Amino acid sequence: MSKKPAAIRGTNDFVKDEAARFDHVVDTFRRVARQFNFRPVHIPVFEQTSVFARSLGETTDVVSKEMYTFEDRSGDSVTLRPEFTAGIARAYISNGWQQHGLMKLSAWGPCFRYERPQKGRFRQFHQLDAEMLGAGEPMHDVELLAFGQQLLEDLGVAGNVSLQLNTLGDPDSRAAWQAALLAYFRRHEDALSADSRERLERNPLRILDSKDEGDRRVVAEAPIIDEFLTDDAKGWFDRVQGGLSVARIDFERNMRLVRGLDYYRHTAFEFVTDALGAQGTVLAGGRYDGLVEAMGGAPTPAIGWAAGIERLAMLVDGVNEDPIDVALVPMNEAAEHVGLSLLNALRSGGGVSGETFARGNMKKRMQRADASGAALALVIGESELQKKAVQVKDMSEGDQTSVAFGDLGFIGGYLAERRLRVMEGEGESMPAFSAWFAANKVRSK
RNA sequence: GCGAUCGUAGCUCAGUCGGUUAGAGCGCUGGUUUGUGGUACCAGAGGUCGCGGGUUCGAACCCCGUCGAUCGCCCCA
């Protein structure tokens, strides 16, 4: 027992409903991405360490203590990606993607951060990512937010989530605000928590979203960005807000929402929930006009967001594993051989899913067939082989009818119609197989 | 990195003041005249009580350490 291999701390193994929820989040993301014309981009899971170290900022926690960094066999320092944006920016520069003009990209996959695991926080976690590069209009911000909003709605979690919005202004606004903020916090340094006094040196903006009571009292009186916005920056933010209300995307202005890094400009946002404890941010992003330039490319306006797949999967409910369509229940080996070829014909003919239940006594076989959730059971024994027909049992109705091997297509037809009705929410109206078969068999003559 | 709580079968848990071969439910495997489930019954497999050390005649239970999980801080998706 003690010899059992253990998973690495902060990693997860998902099966069954957890895996189904995870996939549902990804499937939904990919579908909505197509609707918004965000095209797939595939980038490496690891990069030269400098890609992340320079883009995220040497002083951030992510870079200074949370990266999975190691030397490869040639002695180069490489790092498992802690997020997507830096890698996509690097690819944009490496490949000269500015030739494509506006690029709307979507990606998803694992990211790695050496953190203390907690609810909704893991060392290997998975993100959905959306980026717009070469996007220099306020309406691009609105479009990107609309994508995020639509995703949350299609996942059915929008009701538990609210959009917090802020602006960091352009570089001039931001620099003036930051200087005023720093001066203000220094005046009130003795009222700040130990953590925040630390932040004063490294990342003063972060004091704004501190959870400490005392800090919040100081923050309440702190200078706000609006007093420092240039006309351009204010105009930008007004157009974003105007676009959001036209798009009917509700948001809440949150003056304390910030981004620590210099290349962030203008729009910053987070979709948050209180259903996940301390890890309430479910989808977050902002405009990072300065990043591509800071990494050695041409000045490129850009905006993007990332969402935590595990966090979204924890909010999603009512997603279960898909049951199979048919359960094959053969009575003996000869029947199993024939049954398998019938099942394979159904699979290749009409996308029917199925499984064989050939172990244990008859009762056990039916029990397992039932547990599989199959709509129909195909029972084949000696007498069926002789008659060249299968017994088809409707598992929810309990009725059973004989179907000649040559009429197998009706099973595919029944299942297809059933799927359609279920999709339209009218699964209840589907007749039992025996009645449906009798009616359609007659009609086909 | 800091703090709190918790680790007993695959899962959820019980296990009295430290006292013989550590239990239940579910699940799993097989069976109940060798052909019928969603609601029967019988049997079986499966645990060095997270790991290591200590106290004791004796430890699942007490002590120390360690690993892991959970929740919070920090940080963030």
Per residue in A70-103, pLDDT (tens digit) is 899 999 999 999 999 999 999 999 999 999 999 9
> Separation of CA A2 and C1' B64 in angstroms?
21
A333 carries a ligand binding annotation: no
> Separation of CA A373 and C1' B27 in angstroms?
17
| CATH 3.30.930.10 residue ranges for chain A | 16-170+230-315
Nucleotide with C1' nearest the A278 CA: B72
Indicate the average pLDDT of chain A. Answer: 91
> Separation of CA A118 and C1' B29 in angstroms?
37
CA distance A244 to A242: 5
Nucleotide with C1' nearest the A195 CA: B74
Which of A88-97, A110-119, A328-337 has the highest mean predicted lDDT (pLDDT)?
A88-97
Residue A4 has pLDDT above 80, yes or no: no
Over residues A200-258, the pLDDT tens digits come to 887 788 889 888 888 888 998 899 999 999 999 999 999 999 999 999 999 999 998 98
Closest CA to A90 of A124, A144, A133: A133
Residue A3 has pLDDT above 60, yes or no: no
Residue A397 has pLDDT above 70, yes or no: yes
> Separation of CA A352 and C1' B6 in angstroms?
46
Nucleotide with C1' nearest the A12 CA: B69
Spatial neighbors of A249 by CB under 8 A, at least 6 apart, are: A142, A145, A146, A149, A163
The mean pLDDT of A119-134, rounded to a whole number, is 95
CA distance A366 to A360: 10
Q: How confident is the model at residue A317 (pLDDT cuts 50, 70, 90)?
A: confident
> Separation of CA A417 and C1' B53 in angstroms?
67
What percent of chain A stands above pLDDT 70?
Answer: 99
CA distance A171 to A268: 14
> Separation of CA A330 and C1' B45 in angstroms?
27
Instruction: Supply the pLDDT for residue A2.
Output: 39
Nearest residue for B30, CA–C1': A360
Nucleotide with C1' nearest the A210 CA: B74
Cα dist. A265→A19, A237, A242, A403, A428 in Å? Answer: 37, 11, 18, 68, 53
Nucleotide with C1' nearest the A396 CA: B38
Instruction: Supply the pLDDT for residue A1.
Output: 36
CA distance A29 to A22: 11
Residue A260 has pLDDT above 80, yes or no: no
A83 carries a ligand binding annotation: yes
Ranges A169-173, A327-331, A358-362: which has the least confidence: A358-362
Over residues A367-384, the pLDDT tens digits come to 999 988 899 999 999 999
Nucleotide with C1' nearest the A198 CA: B74
CA distance A337 to A346: 15
CATH number for A16-170+230-315 (one of 1.25.40.10, 3.20.20.70, 3.40.50.150, 3.30.930.10): it is: 3.30.930.10
The H or E element spanning position A333 is helix A333-350
CATH number for A326-443 (one of 3.40.640.10, 3.40.50.300, 1.10.1060.10, 3.40.50.800): it is: 3.40.50.800
Ranges A37-41, A308-312, A315-319: which has the least confidence: A315-319
Nearest residue for B40, CA–C1': A363
The torsion angle over the Cα atoms of residues A410, A415, A419 and A424, rounded to 10 degrees, is 50
A113 carries a ligand binding annotation: yes
Q: In terms of pLDDT, which residue wins out, A26 or A372?
A: A26
> Separation of CA A13 and C1' B55 in angstroms?
40
Instruction: Supply the pLDDT for residue A7.
Output: 83
| CATH 3.40.50.800 residue ranges for chain A | 326-443
Strand B: which positions are within 7 A of a protein CB?
Answer: 1-3, 10, 28-32, 34-38, 40, 47-48, 50-52, 67-77
